[in-house]
Amino acid sequence: MNRKRAVVKVLQSTKPEKPIAPLVLEMLTSLGEDPTRDGLLRTPERVEKALRYLTSGYKTDIRKIVNEAIFEVKYDEMVIVKDIEFFSMCEHHMLPFFGKMHVAYIAKDKVIGLSKLPRIVDAFARRLQIQERLTQQVAECIQEMLDPLGVGVVAEAQHFCMMMRGVEKQHSGTVTSAMLGGFRTNKETRDEFISLIRNSK
């Protein structure tokens, strides 16, 4: 299976950004609202600003995030950053999903600055997403940047598309994982990772 090695690239478009606010105005009218009333007068502009921010990951350059924070170190053990909070938007209904991500890698001869891992998570979370893809993209990005012996990522999230509509199960949660290299091939490594993130609770 050929995976695209485009996870660290910026999605670029030669087309200028089309304003979103007029579309929000039309949507409000279609919903039966009066967009000229006080509470909604500036709503289209606010929604546009919010959506631009919540999908800013499309324009994020991962290499600029990492910058020069990859260091050569004689270390070949597991590195874990637990409980990375993230917020994203489901691509099916454009409703939020949110939760925590646990990221681990087994260093070969390079480590990355710890603060960069949450920034990488944010870069992929701030797009229209599904949790499965988000988890896989974070794992593949770290694999590509560091070439470690293995990468493990576990995401736990709650989805408003299940909580507010549809089955309306407010206490449901979804867990996804992506295991690469030693985390996929070595059960002891995988079990150690799962045990360490469970103990954090």
Mean pLDDT of 93-115: 96
- CATH 1.20.1250.20 fits domain 68-199: no
pLDDT above 70 (res 117): yes
pLDDT of residue 16: 72
**pLDDT tens-place string over residues 138-152:** 999 999 999 999 999
The structure tokens listed for 109 are 């001869």
Residue 151 near residue 180 (C-beta atoms within 8 A): yes
Mean pLDDT of 46-68: 95
Amino acid at 136: Q
Mean pLDDT of 51-65: 95
pLDDT of residue 184: 96
Residues identified as active-site = 90-93, 131, 159, 161
pLDDT of residue 1: 42
pLDDT of residue 6: 46
pLDDT of residue 103: 98
Mean pLDDT of 54-77: 93
DSSP assignment of 12-43, as one string? --SSPPPPSHHHHHHHHHHTT--TTSGGGTTH
pTM comes to: 0.88
Domain ranges (residues) in the chain: 68-199
